[in-house]
Amino acid sequence: MLTLAIETSCDETSCAVIRDGREVLSNIISSQIEIHKRFGGVVPEIASRKHIEIINNIVQEAIDKAEVEFEDIDLIGVTKGPGLVGALLIGLSTAKALAYALDKPIVGVNHMEGHICANYIEHKDLKPPFTCLIVSGGHSYLIYVKGYTDYELIGRTRDDAAGEAFDKVARTLGLAYPGGPLIDKLAREGNKDAIDFPRVMLEKDSYDFSFSGLKTAVLNYINNMEQKGEKIVVEDVAASFQQALLDVLVDKSFKLAREKGSNKLVIAGGVAANSGLREMMESRGKKESVDIFYPSRTLCTDNAAMIGSAAYFNYQAGNESDLHLNVNPNLSLN
């Protein structure tokens, strides 16, 4: 079964063709990062305009690269939320037009579900159930994946998402947008024990996250150092901040895996590209006999192939949409 999928929830315009939910024939990703960089973050109105300028070319490119014809496509998948409303609408309108013109079924996909499915593309034998940590720019979730479209949402962020904390701290350090990959790189050169930033675990049995206190602690540290006229070692701040955040993510993920008796732990979303997170998960996984899964870097950050995979599994489960499908910028996982 061939799925053509479209992703335009934020600042990547992407279209993919995938076979049977797991095999990527093409995955074209056009990033707007260079345009948004100068504003220090994504400007929603500019994002929508850029999507509309190039979406038709990206769709054509995905078809050409996959070496298929539009008539070969069996299913259209599209991100319906969460994300920027104007940006989502460009992808949705394009997907609806294709579904109508080709007379093919359409499935609206939750973007966060797409992030999980990136792992099915990367790991051909991976099957639910498993414990999953999804950490992106806008959301952080701890979930138990019971089936391909069946999720138990157990923890979520109460304030800033993990990626958001990376981006905000990076901005304070004078780094470019998006800050996550830059902090990742600097952290490798710094001392993670140099500054003792807080690890906010919340109530004893809570699987929720809160990163705004950590973010504020980093800002206060920088302000204090500047007031005292002392030199800030950016690498040490990056390493100490990253370690504080990762300690919380890793601890809670393993605690949930233990509670569920699950020996598979899957990470997903843009922050799953973080080298420190991958290393920590793997070394703790070895000690606790838990297998760790994460997608390659291109599949961690936003792309349409993961949306195609989620559309396929939802179609198999009977979750077909129709042409009344609308976007939902605040869509939750369940």
Residues of this chain that interact with ligand KG4 (CB under 6 A) are: 10, 136-138, 163, 166-167, 178-181, 184, 269-271, 273-274, 301-302
| Binding partner of 160, given ligand KG4, Zn ion, none, CB within 5-8 angstroms per partner class | none
By CB atoms closer than 10 A (0-12, 13-18, 19+), residue 174 is exposed
Q: What is the DSSP string of 64-81?
A: HHHT--GGG--EEEEEEE
Are 136 and 11 in contact by the 8 Å Cβ rule? The answer is no
* CB 24, min distance to ligand KG4, A: 17
Please tell me whether residue 191 adopts helix, strand or coil conformation. coil
Are 47 and 10 in contact by the 8 Å Cβ rule? The answer is yes
* CB 70, min distance to ligand KG4, A: 28
Q: What is the DSSP string of 273-319?
A: G-HHHHHHHHHHHHHHT-EEE---HHHHSS-HHHHHHHHHHHHHTT-
| Binding partner of 148, given Zn ion, ligand KG4, none, CB within 5-8 angstroms per partner class | none
* CB 29, min distance to Zn ion, A: 12
Range 150-169, binding Zn ion (CB under 5 A): none
* CB 287, min distance to Zn ion, A: 30
Piece in contact with Zn ion (CB under 5 A), picked from 74-82, 154-162, 180-188, 296-304: 296-304
Q: Give the amino acid at 55.
A: I
Compute the distance between CA of residue 330 and CA of residue 320 in angstroms, rounded to an integer: 20
Are 308 and 19 in contact by the 8 Å Cβ rule? The answer is no
| Binding partner of 82, given Zn ion, ligand KG4, none, CB within 5-8 angstroms per partner class | none
Taking the least distance from each CB to ligand KG4, the nearer of 137 and 155 is 137
* CB 91, min distance to ligand KG4, A: 14
Are 304 and 5 in contact by the 8 Å Cβ rule? The answer is yes
By CB under 5 A, is residue 302 in contact with Zn ion? yes
By CB under 5 A, is residue 149 in contact with Zn ion? no
Torsion (CA) 99, 100, 104, 106 in degrees, nearest 10 = 50
**Per-residue x/- mask for Zn ion, residues 251 to 290, rule CB under 5 A?**
----------------------------------------
Copy the structure tokens of residue 41. Answer: 């973050």
* CB 138, min distance to ligand KG4, A: 5
By CB under 5 A, is residue 136 in contact with Zn ion? yes
* CB 281, min distance to Zn ion, A: 19
Taking the least distance from each CB to Zn ion, the nearer of 79 and 210 is 79
Piece in contact with Zn ion (CB under 5 A), picked from 12-20, 28-36, 219-227, 302-310: 302-310
Strand pairing class (12-19; 2-7)? antiparallel
What is the 8-class DSSP label of residue 40? T
Taking the least distance from each CB to Zn ion, the nearer of 110 and 136 is 136
Copy the structure tokens of residue 176. Answer: 């470019």
Taking the least distance from each CB to Zn ion, the nearer of 143 and 217 is 143
Taking the least distance from each CB to Zn ion, the nearer of 26 and 136 is 136
Instruction: Give the footprint of Zn ion on this chain (CB under 5 A).
Output: 136, 302
